A = this chain, B = another copy of it.
Amino acid sequence: MTNIPRTHPRYESLKIREKLSKGFREGLVHETGLIAHGRGEAFDYLIGEQTIPIADIAAKTAAALLLKSQHPIISVNGNVVALTVDECIDLANSIPAEIEVNLFHRDIKRVRKLVDTLIEHGAEKVYGLNADMRIPGLEHDRGWCEKEGIYSADTVLVPLEDGDRCEALKAMNKKVITIDLNPLSRTAQMADITIVDNVTRAIKNIEKWIYRLRDEDSAALDEIVGSWDNKNMLGEVIDFISNRLEGMYYGST
A: residues with CB less than 8 A from B are 1, 17, 20-21, 24, 31-32, 34-43, 45, 182-184, 234-235, 238-239, 241-242, 245-246, 248-250
A34, A36, A41, A238 interface centre (most CB from chain B within 10 Å): A34
Q: Binding site of A, secondary structure by majority: helix, strand, loop or mixed?
A: helix
- Residues of B contacting A43 with CB < 8 Å? 42
Q: Which of B39, B234, B239, B246 contacts A42 (CB 8 A)?
A: B39
Q: Which residue of B lies closest to A243 (CB)?
A: B242
The 3 A-B pairs at the shortest CB distance, nearest first, are namely A38-B38, A42-B42, A34-B34
- Residues of B contacting A20 with CB < 8 Å? 35
Shortest Cβ gap from A222 to chain B (Å): 28
**CA of A35 to CA of B83 in the docked complex: distance in angstroms?**
15
- Residues of B contacting A40 with CB < 8 Å? 38, 42
Q: Which of B35, B182, B234, B250 contacts A35 (CB 8 A)?
A: B35
Q: Contact between B234 and A241 (Cβ–Cβ < 8 Å)?
A: no
- Residues of B contacting A45 with CB < 8 Å? 39, 182, 184
**CA of A38 to CA of B37 in the docked complex: distance in angstroms?**
7
Beyond A17-B32, A21-B35, A184-B249, 10 additional contacts (C-beta under 8 Å) are A37-B38, A38-B39, A39-B39, A39-B41, A39-B45, A42-B43, A45-B182, A239-B246, A241-B245, A242-B246
Q: Contact between B182 and A42 (Cβ–Cβ < 8 Å)?
A: yes
